[in-house]
Amino acid sequence: MIAAPSAAPAPAAGAPSIPAPAAGEPPAAAAEAAAAGLAAADGAADEVATVAERFSRNVEVAILAQQAHQQTLQLRVDRMRSDFNAAQEERSEMLREMNVLRDMALEQAKKDDEVLKKYVAMI
């Protein structure tokens, strides 16, 4: 014997299956079964919402942690930059002082030569 095709469509993937009323079952029992199926669907929707909310919180925490890490790295780079600038300023100041001392030494050498020439001329 060949069975007649069912008139009820198949439930969508992931949708709760609501049992079809059995032949001779009272309509109240069918309504209760449908309500139980909807309650299960609401429970699943609540669970999905909870998981999505938890995932969203985890992503937000991860983003905040990454921002804090980036700020820490930026502070380290800023400190390195300021240390480098301070070292370069100190080096520049030392070079200026060396140039002044060298210029003074050259002037002193010139004056010493003049004094030596005058001394030699006196003799």
Measured CA to CA in angstroms, residue 95 lies from 45, 83, 98, 103 at distances of: 74, 18, 5, 12
pLDDT band at 1 (very low <50, low <70, confident <90, very high): very low
Q: How far apart are CA 37 and CA 90, in angstroms?
A: 79
Most confident range (mean pLDDT) of 32-36, 42-46, 101-105 is 101-105
Residue 44 pLDDT: 74
What pLDDT, in 10s, does the model give residues 41-99? 566 778 888 999 999 999 999 999 999 999 999 999 999 999 999 999 999 999 999 99
Of 26 and 70, more confident = 70
In 3D space, the residue among 59, 18, 53 whose CA is nearest the CA of residue 35 turns out to be 18
The pLDDT of residue 24 is above 80: no
pLDDT band at 27, cuts 50/70/90? low
Percentage of the chain exceeding pLDDT 90:
56
- The pLDDT of residue 122 is 87
Distance CA 47, CA 34 (A): 20
What is the reported pLDDT for 123?
79
